A and B are shown apart, each in its own frame.
Chain A
Amino acid sequence: MAQKQTIKFRVSLAFVAMLVVFAIFIVAFNYTKSAQNANQLLDKITSEITRSVIDKTKFYINKTNTNIKVLAKTNKTNTILENKEVVIGNMWDYLIAEEHLASIFVADNFDNFLQARRDPAFAIREISEVNGKRIDYYEYKDEEFFTTEITAKIADYHPSQRDWYKDAKNGKFAVTMPYIFASTGKVGITVTYGNFDEFGNRLSVGAVDIILDSLAKFLKEQSSRSNSSVVLYNADTKEYFLSSDTELNKKYGGKNPPLTSIEDESFIIQSAKEGLKEGKEMFFKSNGGNYVFSKQSFNVSDELSLTLVVVTPEDIFLKEINENLIYSLMGSFAIVVLFIYLSVKTSQYISRPISEIASDIERLQQLDLGMDIKANSSILEIYNAQNALKSLKSALENFTKYMPSDLVKILTKSNQEAKIGGEERELAIMFTDIEGFTAISEKLTPKELTSQLAVYFEEMEKIISNYQGTIDKYIGDAIMAFWGAPLSIENPPKKAVICALEMQQKLDELNDQWQKEGKSLLKTRIGIHYGKTLVGNIGSNNRMNYTVIGDSVNIAARLEALNKNYQTKIMVSSQVKEHVGDGFAFKYMGEIELKGKSELTRIYTIQ
């Protein structure tokens, strides 16, 4: 048979199971949602970085384009010295206004050169012809444009022979790749604008040297938020322009770096940038991690295109998500533990009345009717059950008055239904009768009668019960009892005899009492026989009695009646005497003829 579980366990289990399912669902849902969000966020961040870097780069490099165009075109007779003071004044203003400029300058075909510079110190530089010689003239300035020092020497710098001059484009802005400025060691670019005449001859060139520090810093800021690598390349990604790593910028400004020699991250970029399609983002597994890549080309100016590569590691968010997952699980676990405790408590509360009912029923089964059943539950069904049980207990209490409880217990224990049927057993049968009862009953009121009888029966019953006798029935004032069924006992006749003696003794006590009370005295005659008897459920299936039939019964009745003839109180058969043994004062009273017996039966009385 399968193991039975308590209600408490079942209910607790049900609650906990529900919660666990629910918790799993929530945690799983959260996790997938977070992962989804993270991916979207990665996407968004990469796009944002790309956009802001492109905007900033364009702005940064093109900021002073108008200025250099103006400078290049300030001369009308192709010498820039024409409006020297004005030009110098303007250059100085531009330089002060734009902190990312290292210098701003203009030159013409005559090798005249005007420059406002910031590094290594604020200065105006002028190269021009004086008294037939080219003089290189510096005026060092403080922030308020006051001169702090002047130098003059024979010039050996020919601007018109420099690359920046020769490479300047007609009416376009040309941008160099980054290089290291000799005077300061900083990384920068030069933007030039060529002023040409209508025949395509270069007249003058305006230019700015832009320091890329601030732009690099911007790239670094953009990259640090999400641990991304942000790298600007030239159009075909073969040349390195600028990145978020300042050391790299210094190291590789303008050169084609062997990126495999730098840290793994850059290697990822190297391997990615070649495989990437324009603008596409994809995930790339390397070193066990996922990365989001973005590659975007854009035009900085007429002459310069750059490519921006942004690489963001996925685990920047994944780490957080996984951490969150662990917290979720821990939290859920704690809640489950708490919930287990609560559900045990709750189910205890629910199951208690049921358990009580179950135990009450168990006791009823034992015909243990001593307990008190209360109908006090606030739960309707339990209350109804309690009430029913209470009624059942009352019913049972009533029933047990009418039937031998031993028998019922046996029947209940063996789970047998009472059926018609009997067996033959050697039983001791006892009949008792009150002498002259009719005359006594006429003297008393019904109430007095029944109450006195009740006392009499109760006492007699007690004694019979004590000696393991089974009371068959009460026939008016007579009692019919037998020994040896339904339970077998040792020496039934002996028990019956001792019982009879004690019954008489008790009656004497009762009579003494009654005499004092002025009540009628009762005298009982007892007859006992021992012999084969048919005992069992006699009657029809729906209505049966557990009783005895047979000759032995008749003999016992006859013996009881014979007491009248011999003036005795107890009359037993020889069969009784034989089985009882010594210790009893039997007196031979005679022989009688019994039905069905060929021999005469001896009868005895006990004194």
Chain B
Amino acid sequence: MRSVILVLLCALMLFADRLVIYNWPDYIDTEILKEFTADTSIEIEYKIFQNNEELIKKLQEDSRFDIVFPSLDYIGRLKALDLIDKLDYSKISTLDNFDPFFLQNPQIKDYALPYFWGSTSIIAQKSLHIRSWNDIFKEELRDSIYMLDDLKDMFLLAHKVVGTHPQDATREDIKKAYDKLLTLAPNIKGAFKDKLDLEVKFTNKDIKAAIVYSGEVVEMLEKNPDLEYIFVDDGAILWMDAAVITKDETNKEAIYKFLNYISSAPIASRNAGTIGYASPIKNIISNNKIINPAKDDLKNSSFAALNLTKETYDIYADYYYRFLEEIRSKKGGR
């Protein structure tokens, strides 16, 4: 009797709607997940990755994922690796909710639905007077900076400083960017883990500055008046995370249900409010000037993305690994 039920349950599971989603940590209001399940009876399996690299790796190993939320550069890589399908925008009933600017982004087009966007810049002690990316390369900041452990973030930064263009960087350009990164290595103490950890490090004076996503700093700045988030003169880097769908055919209906759900105005608004990042949905504007900065702050900023073809990715990956090695060796093998 027991085994019969078990078999039936398994069968049921195969037919039962279930979505497997892969996203960044602390990147969705969990109540929304519950509500989605309650409203649609679709089960949710929501997994968490720490960075784009992990996302790619897991996607290559596990075929169960339905919706994943890569950054712009990695949409390109996923395309290159043939891991994602084009989005059928006709099925997105909430398309009009989006600010078209975001939809038109070359990385987004045809494949993705924008989710959150923000800036990558520097949070630092006001006393340091950091005003540009170059300032973090200074010797005074020896062993005092937290970086972002993300290939794209570090190379976008490097390209910016060196003056090369990420979207069509040649081998030599990439090398140039890498060489520049090497000079930053001595200043790197560690990498961003989560905002609580970052806050502690600042409070303990373990670090003086950090490369960070805009949404992570809001509460910290309220608590620490001696810190500031700087929209650097040479332009903070703008990033965007978006939803893409994998090549799995089975759950298409559930997938679009979910995509529509999270991009409906009330849900998206609540989500943005809870998570604290800027939404690509129209009329969801935060009062916070870091989340939704003034035009002036963004004057030299743009949505840049690395061109991650199969070859360029390997080059970038190799250089990034060596960059990390350089940092480790500077610390005596930490």
Contacts and interface: CB of A to CB of B under 8 A. Distances in A.
B48 A135 contact: no
Contact of B31 (A130, A132, A153, A154): A130
A153 B30 contact: no
Interface in B6-53: 18, 25-26, 30-31, 33-39, 41, 43-48
B37 A154 contact: yes
A151 B42 CA distance: 11
A141 to B, nearest CB: 11
A464 to B, nearest CB: 128
A139 interface: yes
Contacts of A153: 18, 37, 43-44
Contacts of B179: none
Interface stretch (A142-150, A204-212, A327-335, A368-376): A142-150
Contacts of B18: 153
B233 interface: no
A347 to B, nearest CB: 83
Contact of A131 (B35, B43, B44, B194): B35
A151 B43 contact: yes
A132 B34 CA distance: 11
A135 B37 CA distance: 7
Contacts of B25: 146-147
Contacts of A149: 45-48
Interface residues of A, number: 17
Contact of A135 (B26, B38, B47, B194): B38
B194 A146 contact: yes
A600 B41 CA distance: 181
A130 B48 contact: no
A152 B21 CA distance: 12
Interface residues of B, number: 20
A133 B46 contact: no
Contacts of A339: none
B307 to A, nearest CB: 32
B266 to A, nearest CB: 13
A152 B44 contact: yes
B46 A132 contact: no
Interface string A115-147: 000000000000010111101010100000011
Contact of A152 (B43, B47, B48, B194): B43
Contacts of A132: 38
A154 B41 contact: yes
B41 A152 contact: no
B61 to A, nearest CB: 16
Determine which residue in A130, A132, A150 has the highest number of CB atoms from chain B within 10 A of its CB, and name it. A150
A298 B194 CA distance: 51
A3 to B, nearest CB: 96
Nearest to B197: A144
A132 B41 CA distance: 12
Given A146-B194, A147-B25, A130 B38 contact: yes
A131 B39 contact: yes
A137 B30 CA distance: 10
Contact of B44 (A133, A148, A151): A151
B31 to A, nearest CB: 7
A47 B35 CA distance: 60
B46 A130 contact: no
Nearest to B47: A149
Contacts of B30: 137, 139, 150
A107 B53 CA distance: 41
Contacts of B43: 151-154
Interface in B32-81: 33-39, 41, 43-48
Nearest to A126: B34
A585 B37 CA distance: 172
Contacts of A137: 30, 33-34
Nearest to A133: B38
Contacts of A154: 37-38, 41, 43
Interface string A70-106: 0000000000000000000000000000000000000
Nearest to A137: B34
B50 to A, nearest CB: 10
A137 B32 CA distance: 12
Contacts of B34: 128, 130, 135, 137, 152
B46 A150 contact: yes
Contacts of A128: 34
Nearest to A149: B47
B48 A147 contact: yes
A370 B26 CA distance: 128
A147 B35 CA distance: 19
Contacts of A151: 43-46
Contacts of B26: 147
A336 to B, nearest CB: 72
Interface string A165-196: 00000000000000000000000000000000
A139 B31 CA distance: 12
Contacts of A150: 30, 33, 44-46, 48
A148 B49 CA distance: 8
A182 to B, nearest CB: 12
A128 B34 CA distance: 10
Interface in B90-120: none
A139 B30 CA distance: 9
8 contacts: A128-B34, A130-B34, A131-B38, A133-B38, A150-B30, A150-B44, A152-B43, A152-B44
Given A135-B38, A154-B37, 5 more contacts: A128-B34, A151-B46, A152-B44, A152-B46, A153-B18
Which 6 pairs show the lowest CB-CB distances between chains A and B? A133-B38, A150-B46, A131-B38, A153-B43, A152-B37, A130-B38
